[in-house]
Amino acid sequence: MFKLDPELEDFRSEARKLAEREFAPKAAYWDDKEEFPAANRDKLAELGYLGMFIPEEYGGSGAPGGQGTVFLEEMARVCFNTALVSQLYLNGPSRAISILGNDEQKERFLPDMAAGRKFIAIAISEPEAGSAVTDLRTTATKDGDGWVLNGNKCWSTGAHVADYALVFCRFGKASGAKGIGAFVVDLKKPGARIGHISLKMGGRGLTEAEIILENYKAGPEDVLVEGDPESSRSFALLMSSFGPERVGNAAMCVGLAQGAFDAAKSYSEIRHQFGRPIKEFQGLQWKFADRKMQLDAARLLLYRAATNADKGFPDATEAAIAKADDFNRDFQDMVTEYCWGAGWGDDTLSPKTRSMLNIVMLAALNRMHEWELHFRGALTNGVSIEELKAMITHITIYCGVPVGVECHRIANRVLAEQGLQA
């Protein structure tokens, strides 16, 4: 059975206790009153959770991605509004600024984000383009040393309570993916205003709002990524920032699903029919087993996407797979049935043996992102360091020296992270 390392499991336990103690009792209130959960945001800031991914020199803790994923799961399990606030602080504009921003921008925005003093919304979607980013019409026109922005953004989560917005727009007269860049817009400055505020079925504590830009003047210090009218390079760079957001969204969905599962399971234990609790009925047991497998599969895909990060951002493909939707539903069902059911669910081979097989097979296939994940799992499943060293030697003989070198590079880093070697 796959398990997180003990340190991360301890972190999950702390996050769960916090969520149940501080946020669960008032979870329904924020939806009922359609009120921004400022008190919850302040509590998270006080405890240092909002700056989890912000570098230490800017007031954060520089935590690994796995912590944020687990944290969002636990928040969403009991209070979706609190999870949504956390998601925007953890995987929203502050994450993009910490990786894509210059030193001045990091100093200007990140300490206030880590402390919960400022809030930055994301402004991408538009009324005439929807979520098709390459069709956006918001323009950035050169004006001396700065730019003038014009356009409408919609479905910007929390914009009505935000101080700033990360606004995607088009530089020059390019079309399609060319020329797309981003500014950090001060929503309190002239030329920026909040338009229509939309109601939602849930998550009403942080609802969606329209941002209207009319001759908004932005300076060079406000440019996060300047759009290149001649290519799609700037667009590709910005789109890579969707990786953390997608993984965070998937984490919240898994957390919500876990909360629903736990509630249903608890109810099945107290609801009696025909003189016994309904949890004893075989028809319900099948449903619970099916949902449990789906949850486990979704969680494992989620953890893989969160773990396999490149240059600060998760792999885009794995992030998309982790984000459950109708397109990949059949795929997830297949993974659940064959990988975690017929595969890892078969106790003929021990988890330790399966881990050892996976390490060898993935090295032979040169799937090194996968290899790192399963190397970590092997340590959890009882494979000793001496056994791992011998396996890498065996891999080197049969798969080649370059593969062996890469295995050693990854292994040394993971072991050092876990304090298993100097």
Residues of the chain with CATH 1.10.540.10: 6-114
Q: Could you give the CA distance from residue 359 to residue 380 in angstroms, rounded to a whole number?
A: 13
Max Cα–Cα distance, the chain, nearest Å? 80
Q: What is the mean pLDDT of residues 143-157?
A: 94
Indicate whether 340 pLDDT > 60: no
Q: What is the pLDDT of residue 131?
A: 67
Indicate whether 256 pLDDT > 70: yes
Indicate whether 70 pLDDT > 70: yes
Q: Could you give the CA distance from residue 235 to residue 229 in angstroms, rounded to a whole number?
A: 10
Instruction: Assign domain 347-422 to its CATH architecture.
Output: Up-down Bundle (1.20)
Indicate whether 410 pLDDT > 60: yes
303 conformational bin, left if phi > 0, alpha if psi -120 to 50, beta if neither: alpha
Q: What is the pLDDT of residue 311?
A: 42
Q: Take residue 274 and report the two structure tokens written for it.
A: 């025909």
Mean model confidence pLDDT for the chain: 85
Q: What is the mean pLDDT of residues 323-331?
A: 54
Q: Counting beta carbons within 10 angstroms of the beta carbon of residue 42, is it exposed (0 to 12), middle (13 to 18) or buried (19 or more)?
A: middle
Q: Write out pLDDT tens, residues 9-50.
A: 899 999 999 999 999 999 999 988 989 999 999 999 999 999
DSSP lists the bridge partners of residue 209 as 156, 197
Angle of CA points 307, 314, 360, to nearest 5°: 45
User: Is the overall model pTM greater than 0.85, yes or no?
Assistant: no
Residues of the chain with CATH 2.40.110.10: 120-231
Residues of the chain with CATH 1.20.1290.10: 347-422
Angle of CA points 187, 93, 214, to nearest 5°: 30
Q: What is the pLDDT of residue 337?
A: 56
CA within 13 Å, CB half, 281:
14
Element spanning 360, H or E:
helix 351-364
Q: What is the pLDDT of residue 394?
A: 94
Q: Could you give the CA distance from residue 240 to residue 305 in angstroms, rounded to a whole number?
A: 13
CB atoms within 10 A of CB 33: 12
Q: What is the mean pLDDT of residues 261-272?
A: 88
CATH 3.30.70.240, domain 6-114, yes or no: no
Q: Counting beta carbons within 10 angstroms of the beta carbon of residue 158, is it exposed (0 to 12), middle (13 to 18) or buried (19 or more)?
A: buried
The DSSP annotation for 53-115 comes to TS-GGGTS----HHHHHHHHHHHHHH-HHHHHHHHHHHHSHHHHHHHHS-HHHHHHHHHHHHT
Contacts of 174 (CB under 8 A, 6+ apart): 180, 227, 229, 230
In order of 71, 81, 87, 191, 224, the CA distances from 206 in angstroms are: 18, 7, 11, 24, 25
The SS3 assignment for 128 reads coil
Q: Could you give the CA distance from residue 355 to residue 360 in angstroms, rounded to a whole number?
A: 9
Confidence of residue 177 (pLDDT cuts 50, 70, 90): confident
Contact 411, 388 (CB under 8 A): yes
Contact 351, 381 (CB under 8 A): yes
Q: What is the pLDDT of residue 290?
A: 82
Q: What's the CATH superfamily of 120-231?
A: Butyryl-CoA Dehydrogenase, subunit A, domain 2 (2.40.110.10)
